[in-house]
Amino acid sequence: MFQLNGKIAFITGAGSGIGEEIARAFVAQGATVVVADIDEAAGRRVADDIGTLSRYHRLDVTDSLAVQVALEQTAERYGSLDVLVNNAGIGLVGSVEETSDEDFERLMSVNVNGVYYGCKHAIPLMLKQGRGNIINIGSVAGLIGIERRFAYCATKGAVIAMTRQLAIDYATRGIRVNCIAPGTVYTPFVDSYLQRFHAHELEETKARLHARQPIGRMGTPRDIAAMAVYLACDDSSFVTGAVMAIDGGWTAR
């Protein structure tokens, strides 16, 4: 397994799902992890469970100043900020006609501004130390059109575009920027939107979500965490500007 010994990682949305599994995988490979999440109970649970190589930091990724302070405090406390994982995100079901202005702005604020603030405030710290690694969690929704996912597709497309642009700007300055684009991953995030939008046909919808991946199942957080470990380690030093689709073959159709 790829090693992260001694690396300092900051992971947003790490209180559950993909972010939680990435935090666990990083610590298992020797990294020190800051578990950042707006849900204090969830974030503290993960940090406490992982143990001494992690700590919790309450963070609202839509607050630029809060993100800046959190990252600066991490670098000051541990002496570096080696890896930033911009994982925090929210979803929405609806066509453009079904999407309210408020919902669209909320998704942009979390999914796009949250990534922007993370990158904006991490990069000066990484430039100062002469190295850094940013992993943005996108989605296949940023690569293909998905029925009734207008706002979500828009935001994840922006994450992919930001990743590629940042990789070009900082390729010769010691900072790598990559994106993981998961297919449908069975997490509390998915459970929540199933209950919200498909409660009347829960099992049928869940079966369709499994079936739309050619491999025949939804992904697991562990599937995504394994790629995050690879991108965070030094063995992937030639990888930047990449968009890694982990989707059970969905985008290969």
DSSP assignment of 106-156 equals HHIIIIIIHHHHHHHHHHHHHHHHT-EEEEEE--GGGTS--TTBHHHHHHH
Catalytic residue among 116, 152, 186, 230: 152
How many CB atoms neighbour CB 111 within 10 A? 29
- N residues, the chain: 253
Residue 78 CB partners (closer than 8 Å, separation 6+): 8, 32
Reference 175, options 50, 84, 77; nearest CA is 84
Is residue 34 within 8 Å of 28, Cβ to Cβ? Answer: no
Distance CA 163, CA 198 (A): 32
The conformation of residue 33, written as its DSSP 8-state character, comes to E
Cα diameter, the chain: 53
Active site residue 56: no
Reference 26, options 105, 70, 84; nearest CA is 84
Catalytic residues: 152
